[in-house]
Structure 1
């Protein structure tokens, strides 16, 4: 990989090379390691997700956002202690400012965990999704896509383990049978030149791996070096992949969780994107993995935001992010987590 000052576009990796010749496989693993360390973002081709399924997911996302406001509000996130459901534009906060996008959040479709007075606060995060009654086909479709993405992303994660000279199943125990699967449907309405262009403010993703399905409208930008941003322009038949903070933490900063943002489209234009986030089980604790010395010498240590520090306890780390991003849901369902000593413990 070139030095970051020479990078003007995201690298492109072909996952199908894992099934190629030994030389193709080794080249893919080397390219994967370098892309994830030097950039933290890349385009993924050969991912094996059916193109028709991807089109259907995009079509149904558009149908959802075209519903009357009353139907979307009926499945509002404010109804869910699990942070699932719909948010109007400017409802989610990034770095203290509202994001100009409307969105629909989904997670793994699981039963509510039994709770008692000693249950950790993050145990409230598990539970069912909300689904719009007038689009009954969207539930099986998105859950099918969620499972297809989970299988593909776990395959890629095992390739990461191999690229880092770890056992291929090194990360498996963090996931077990309950990975933290998160889908986000997002619509970015066009903004006038006088309005805020913060589609999403600059941030890092908090999980392990993130995958983005873009439409044809540009907007995603990656901070390749401090203060220098490049466009992650849409490319046909690709997913944009980026490293999350927990994978950076697990590799002592050898892999890079990169700051990124979305610029709002111009007035009269909209942008649709659909994200899948793979996270570990809520009760997992992320260890520091024993990388070989040749890689450890290049590890930079995790770059934690002092105002939003990383936690190795997955459930607490995820909850912390949700409380910051959705203060209305936090106030309704997690008022006991907002008292000063609890907030201090979450950041300790």
Structure 2
């Protein structure tokens, strides 16, 4: 059978990893190949459970894409920024405030950071169906079939396996969370280049490019890239760096999974900061897969045997809860777009209605 010829794409050269001696977080490495069998999932589940209840981040290796396949996706991710004119990008701009969607382009300087400084993150978000929900810039059209295969891989081969492990960790049927994550849900894949700030803005923001926060969705999958900028808040409340591992995934829990698990799994606080000295001035290209549950899923705790020992109220004892769709829209309309209220503890919160906190910054 002949092999299909892939369309040519300019090669994006990844920067060399930093040589700086940073305070790295020692994340566990999970071999996803083991999750392909029931026996392997049973072995991995307790470890993933413990990781996602403590550190909240983990590396995943053997996720099904080779190094060269991953590199090509970074090449394609770069196309939507380096090969598309600015005026064409505006034709595909997302409308966060009005439509509460991230699908499409977000230009730089849309989000507020700190002390009046605007962000230097550009992004292009692709709905996982690729063809059904949006139109794309002309330069990206030759690569749409590859993008669709990429989102399917992330959804079915990576996300679903993670969701099964999380369910087993709560002593639930392993398809519990999988059933809440249809392929047509509102999750998306992102390519995000981050550009350096001016020296003046670095001082104003205390070198923090994206303030401490948790993700809105259930699970976030980041393809490890070589510029050090991501930090997590460790269990001891110190900020530590995430180290690059070639062709690894960096996975964390979001706020929606914390809600669904009744706090059993904790949404992990993380931020983006100025890279170390030997990487400053470089453009940091990130590639993400943000998973959300279906819009009609209520973000109330699932019934689990572990709740008795954890003291989590059952669904019958819970009041009115938001659906995934309601929470998603509230969050997207405020995060980075509206001023938050500073609390006595130093956090900054967006409170929408009935005391519901939809976004918080941790500084």
TM-score normalised according to structure 1 size = 0.77
Judge conservation of contact 1:109–1:129 (CA < 8 Å) in 2.
no
Judge conservation of contact 1:189–1:269 (CA < 8 Å) in 2.
yes
2:137 is aligned with 1:132: yes
Change (3 A) 1:241 1:344: same
- For 2:226 and 2:218, the matched residues in 1 are separated by 26
Residues 289-336 of structure 1: CA deviation (Å, up to 9, x unaligned): 23324x6534789xxxxxxxx9531001000111113759xxxxxxxx
Q: Which runs of structure 2 are paired with 1:65-214 in the superposition (5 Å)?
A: 65-67=81-83, 68-78=85-95, 81=99, 82-93=101-112, 98-109=118-129, 128-151=133-156, 152-176=158-182, 178-196=184-202, 197-214=207-224
Change (3 A) 1:66 1:346: farther
Change (3 A) 1:78 1:199: same
Equivalent residue in structure 1 for 2:270, among 255, 260, 270:
260
Root-mean-square deviation over aligned CA pairs: 3.1
- For 2:312 and 2:66, the matched residues in 1 are separated by 37
Question: Structure 1, unaligned stretches of length 5 or more?
Answer: 1-6, 112-126, 302-309, 329-341
Task: Determine the structure 2 residue equivalent to 1:117.
Answer: none
Residues 72-110 of structure 1: CA deviation (Å, up to 9, x unaligned): 223222499343211222213468963321111222348
Judge conservation of contact 1:209–1:244 (CA < 8 Å) in 2.
yes
Greater mean deviation of Cα atoms: 215-224 or 168-177? 168-177
Equivalent residue in structure 2 for 1:57, among 63, 73, 76:
73
Task: Determine the structure 2 residue equivalent to 1:284.
Answer: 297
- For 2:308 and 2:270, the matched residues in 1 are separated by 25
Change (3 A) 1:204 1:221: same
Task: Determine the structure 1 residue equivalent to 2:49.
Answer: 33
Greater mean deviation of Cα atoms: 270-279 or 197-206? 197-206
Greater mean deviation of Cα atoms: 76-85 or 276-285? 76-85
Judge conservation of contact 1:221–1:232 (CA < 8 Å) in 2.
yes
Change (3 A) 1:97 1:321: farther
Task: Determine the structure 2 residue equivalent to 1:17.
Answer: 34
Alpha-carbon offset, residue 54 of structure 1: 1.7
Judge conservation of contact 1:183–1:277 (CA < 8 Å) in 2.
yes
- For 1:62 and 1:255, the matched residues in 2 are separated by 34
- For 1:34 and 1:142, the matched residues in 2 are separated by 33
- For 1:322 and 1:25, the matched residues in 2 are separated by 34
Change (3 A) 1:128 1:178: closer
Q: Which runs of structure 2 are paired with 1:226-241 in the superposition (5 Å)?
A: 227-241=237-251
Alpha-carbon offset, residue 187 of structure 1: 0.5
2:288 is aligned with 1:275: yes
Change (3 A) 1:343 1:36: closer
- For 2:198 and 2:322, the matched residues in 1 are separated by 41
TM-score normalised according to structure 2 size = 0.74
- For 2:38 and 2:176, the matched residues in 1 are separated by 24
